[in-house]
Amino acid sequence: MDTTGHHHIVEASGCDPEVLGDPNLIREIFLEAAKVGNMDVKSSYFFRFSPTGVSGVVIVAESHISVHTWPEEGYAALDVYTCGAKADPEKAVDYILERFKAKYAHVSEVRRGIKEEENTFTHTILTWEESLRINGE
């Protein structure tokens, strides 16, 4: 079995605070993002903090989609990690950013589980920034 995985670590800024504060809406967004990214959903759990913020995870056969939000800052820390060749984590990330109405994203893609000599493993990192257009703006 191939150990290589793709871990997208996203700093999403300028997001809609209403979305970031709603665990049920975020669950809905993540479940649809898993479909968009061709992932097989196994379980999910979301928690609303007091007075604000949400943490949640969708477990997929390929690994996970997770988030912690700060609605008062319009900020979400998002992770999408998948193993294997079937899933498309970048499509899932793009869908989530669109639904969060993010205006900016700093993305790092960590290619993990790269097998080296003597049964050791390493990773590589690619980072980019995006200014996002919301609804044609």
Q: What is the pLDDT of residue 85?
A: 87
Report the half-sphere exposure of 137 (CA within 13 A, side-chain side).
Answer: 10
| Token pair for 18 | 């209403």
What is the architecture, at CATH level 2, of domain 5-131? 4-Layer Sandwich (3.60)
Is this prediction's pTM over 0.85?
Answer: yes
Which residue carries 């479940």 as its tokens? 31
Q: State how far the Cα of 88 lies from the Cα of 65, in Å rounded to an integer.
A: 12
CA 113, 111, 69, 135 torsion: positive or negative?
negative
Report pLDDT digits (tens) over 22-62: 999 999 999 999 999 999 999 999 999 999 999 999 999 99
Q: How far out from the chain centre does Cα 117 lie? A: 31
Q: Which residues are catalytic?
A: 63, 68, 83
Q: What is the pLDDT of residue 121?
A: 93
For residue 4, how many other CB atoms are within 10 A of its CB?
14
Single out the residue of 76, 67, 70, 68 nearest to residue 34, CA to CA. Answer: 67
Q: What is the side-by-side order of every strand in the sheet holding 5-13?
A: 41-48, 54-60, 63-70, 75-83, 5-13, 104-115, 121-131
Task: Please report which confidence band the pLDDT of residue 131 belongs to, taking 50, 70 and 90 as the band edges.
Answer: confident
Q: State how far the Cα of 18 lies from the Cα of 111, in Å rounded to an integer.
A: 33
Q: Could you state, in order of their start, the residue ranges of all structural domains in the chain? A: 5-131
Q: What is the pLDDT of residue 137?
A: 52
